[in-house]
Amino acid sequence: MGLTIAQKIIKAHLVEGEMLAGNEIALKIDQTLTQDATGTMAYLEFETMGIDRVRTEKSVAYIDHNTLQSGFENADDHRYIQSVCKKHGIYFSRPGNGICHQVHLERFGIPGKTLIGSDSHTPTGGGIGMLAMGAGGLDVAVAMGGGAYHITMPKMYKVNLTGKLNDFVTAKDVSLEILRILSVKGGVGAIIEWGGEGVKTLSVPERATITNMGTELGATTSIFPSDEITREFLAAQGRERDYVELSSDADAEYDKIIDINLSELKPLIACPHSPDNVVTVESLKGTKVDQVCIGSCTNSSLFDMLKVAALLKGKIISPFVSLSVSPGSKQVLSMLSSCGALTDILASGARLLECACGPCIGMGFSPNSGGVSLRTFNRNFEGRSGTADGQVYLVSPETAVAAALTGYITDPRELGFMPKVEMPEKFKIDDSAVIEPASVEEAANLEVLRGPNIKKFPDSFPQENTLKAPLILKVGDNITTDHIMPAGAKILPYRSNIPHLSQYCFGVCDTTFPERAKKAGRSIIVGGSNYGQGSSREHAALVPLYLGVRAVITKSFARIHIANLINAGIMPLTFKNPDDYDKLNQGDELELTDIYAGMDSGEIKLRNVSTGEEYILNCSFTERQKAILKAGSLLAYTKEIGE
Ligand code: MIC
Ligand code: SF4
């Protein structure tokens, strides 16, 4: 049987396990990336492992999430990351150099290589045929130390593209269409390969928009073939040597095939508060808009920005709308500036923000109360914008410009003529904002600089055979990591300070949770399906751990979050009968007995002490996962086995 693109890369990197969907496999990781909001924790974990120098082919640390440095906290964390990088062999991309995924695609990504990043949108690299996956910080730390990355061997889905996008219909609309078809749970346990004749009509930045947003499907990753278009992109980045051709075999088999005819797509929009809440832009025509944001790792390429500039040229935005534009990288910004496109953007009345995540992670530019904000981003989870009742819609850059000009949700096709935008033959190459690590000799004498914001890592608790604890919080379906551990300008500076962060845990759902959990000492959370979707932040496991959470029982989990829970030593369990979810109430006293035997048999008994009822919970832990839970955490386990 032939192989898919992902299967070929997996085969070439397999260090353990069998390539059968559902089996645990371990992969050799060629490259890693971190960003500042997850990076401090990842490097603290790396340091605990006592390894002098990273063992990957290339590891890069980006500072892009919290670049405001509104107090010493972030400035200290950035200085810490920079000093760790210098000492341990990691490249350091300075604040201002751009968003990790955009810069990595431009300067470091290589087709056919494996990449894991402590950020859920790492699959952006799939746009050039990398097997790129989001992971928790600890998994990235282990990979930097040369350890393998463990995942469940995914199923293979294929999206077969035919036709060609019409003017004003974009790669973002393709992403929204697949979300409409599959939903935010539809990609769980799968890798999505994009193929078919239509692929040849999509440039690398368009492909990267699609693989970036594949994260919102819950997919392990998404990937495009590496072809002539990839070669041209790499050559334009001065990296033709990194090109390898990659395609699936003609007889490769897929678990699901979805057909999309690009020619038939219309401009789409995701309504609050979920990326799969998708309708056509024309169906919302006339809705008043307060704010428009263009940027984020989904839509901040030079290609996107040049289209925005061409559409804004000679026009002035509506006086009732505020428009922000954040180019994805220093390369994008400097090229926009040298060709004059930046002037067209600014002349329209737009505000230029730094080349960083910015409003996407709630770092400023929050909408007014109840305000309607159209964003070219990938997530519109409740409260993520920083305004609790903000109404965030996800759109393409073209739809964003149409709304900024008219003040209302407007089908961009009404703008009339779409100016032609070409990809440059050569990008402007200037890597001066990437600081190289020190040589081995030099590194030995370097000091790592730590600030007072870096607090102790929470203690881990080896899993005991019985767990008796109250059901401290019951939540519904599709709980995101933004619910569990919110981000935003007020909280993000404390990503290396778990005690401080803990005050905000589950704040969107229940502000009394942190106090109640602390008082209970140890506790259990119950959730619905797709619990923990969204970000890769391991803080969504570490903070509950700090507050005493010992087990989370749900209908189902999102991939990265379940790994983070296990790594932190919190037991993730699912209801054998999903209807039992309805029989549990917040405040019930719960008891799990014979946990060790249950881990082996795959079923653990849950007794509701308050009602006397009993239920069966599923757990399908691998031997390694059982050992991690029994040791108390992945770090404790790694130390135990002396990896
Ligand atoms: C996000 O988009 O939610 C983030 C912020 O980039 C996160 C990482 C984080 O929480 O630091 C992600 O997607 O993994
Ligand atoms: Fe940054 Fe937003 Fe992309 Fe996350 S989704 S990496 S916050 S731009």
- Candidate of 36, 65, 353 to mutate for ligand 2, largest count of ligand atoms within 8 Å of Cβ: 65
Residue 378 beta carbon below 6 angstroms from any ligand 2 atom: yes
Q: Which residue CA neighbors atom 4 of ligand 1 most closely?
A: 535
Strands 91-93 and 58-62: parallel
- The 10s digit of each residue's pLDDT in 430-461 is 999 999 999 999 999 999 999 999 988 888 89
pLDDT of 642 reads 63
CA distance 402 to 406: 6
Residue 121 beta carbon below 6 angstroms from any ligand 2 atom: yes
Structure tokens that stand for 340 in this block? 């004059």
Q: pLDDT averaged over the chain?
A: 97
Q: Which residue CA neighbors atom 9 of ligand 1 most closely?
A: 537
- The percent of residues in the chain predicted with pLDDT above 90, rounded, is 96
- The percent of residues in the chain predicted with pLDDT above 70, rounded, is 100
Which residue is it, tokens 């007072």? 452
Q: Which residue CA neighbors atom 3 of ligand 2 most closely?
A: 297
Residue 482 beta carbon below 6 angstroms from any ligand 2 atom: no
Q: How far is the CA of 296 from the centre of ligand 2 (A)?
A: 6
Q: Which residue CA neighbors atom 7 of ligand 2 most closely?
A: 361
3-state secondary structure of 510: coil
3-state secondary structure of 268: strand
Q: How far is the CA of 535 from the centre of ligand 1 (A)?
A: 4
The CA-to-CA distance between both ends of the chain, in Å, stands at: 36
Inter-axis angle of helices 634-641 and 559-568, nearest 10: 60
255 versus 635: the higher-pLDDT residue is 255
Structure tokens that stand for 295 in this block? 């940027």
Residue 144 beta carbon below 6 angstroms from any ligand 1 atom: no
Q: Say which amino acid occupies 54.
A: V
Q: How far is the CA of 449 from the centre of ligand 1 (A)?
A: 25
Instruction: Give the ligand at the shortest distance from the Cα of 359.
Output: 2
CA distance 462 to 636: 9
Q: Is the dihedral of CA 396, 364, 564, 183 positive or negative?
A: negative
Residue 357 beta carbon below 6 angstroms from any ligand 2 atom: yes
The beta-strand segments (E) located in 532-636 are 549-554, 571-575, 589-593, 603-608, 614-618
Q: Identify whether the C-beta of residue 488 lies closer than 8 Å to the C-beta of residue 362.
A: yes
Closest ligand 2 atom to Cα of 300: 8
**How many Cβ atoms sit within 10 Å of the Cβ of residue 359?**
27
Alpha helix locations (H) across 89-170? 100-103, 137-144
Q: Say which amino acid occupies 381.
A: F
Range from 62-71, 395-404, 534-543, 576-585 carrying the lowest mean pLDDT: 62-71
Cα 445 to its chain centre, rounded Å, is 35
Residue 354 beta carbon below 6 angstroms from any ligand 2 atom: no
Q: Is the dihedral of CA 511, 493, 31, 98 positive or negative?
A: positive
At residue 592, does pLDDT exceed 80?
A: yes
Residue 296 beta carbon below 6 angstroms from any ligand 2 atom: yes
Q: For residue 13, is the peptide bond before it cis, meaning its omega torsion is within 30 degrees of 0?
A: no
Q: Which residue CA neighbors atom 2 of ligand 2 most closely?
A: 360
- The 10s digit of each residue's pLDDT in 217-269 is 999 999 999 999 999 999 999 999 999 999 999 999 999 999 999 999 999 99
Cα 470 to its chain centre, rounded Å, is 32
Residue 121 beta carbon below 6 angstroms from any ligand 1 atom: yes
Q: Say which amino acid occupies 503.
A: Q
Which of 134, 64, 56, 131 is closest to 103 using CA atoms?
64
- Single pTM value for the model: 0.97
Residue 538 beta carbon below 6 angstroms from any ligand 1 atom: no
CA distance 184 to 190: 13
Q: Identify whether the C-beta of residue 437 lies closer than 8 Å to the C-beta of residue 88.
A: yes
Question: If you compute the radius of gyration of the chain from its CA atoms, what whole number of angstroms results?
Answer: 24
At residue 508, does pLDDT exceed 70?
A: yes
Instruction: Give the ligand at the shortest distance from the Cα of 384.
Output: 1
Q: How far is the CA of 360 from the centre of ligand 2 (A)?
A: 6
pLDDT of 641 reads 75
Residue range 339-352: mean pLDDT, rounded: 98
Which H helix or E strand runs over 44? helix 36-48
Q: Identify whether the C-beta of residue 300 lies closer than 8 Å to the C-beta of residue 335.
A: no
At residue 643, does pLDDT exceed 80?
A: no
CA distance 525 to 583: 14
Closest ligand 1 atom to Cα of 121: 13
Q: Identify whether the C-beta of residue 458 lies closer than 8 Å to the C-beta of residue 545.
A: yes
**C-alpha distances in angstroms, 386 versus 6, 70, 242, 446, 541?**
37, 16, 40, 39, 22
Alpha helix locations (H) across 340-424? 341-347, 397-406
- Angle formed at CA 168 by CA 163 and CA 170, multiple of 5 degrees: 60
Which residue is it, tokens 């699609």? 210
Q: How confident is the model at residue 399 (pLDDT cuts 50, 70, 90)?
A: very high
Range from 27-36, 67-76, 584-593 carrying the lowest mean pLDDT: 67-76
Residues 6+ apart with CB under 8 A from 354: 67, 95, 96, 326
CA distance 159 to 223: 10
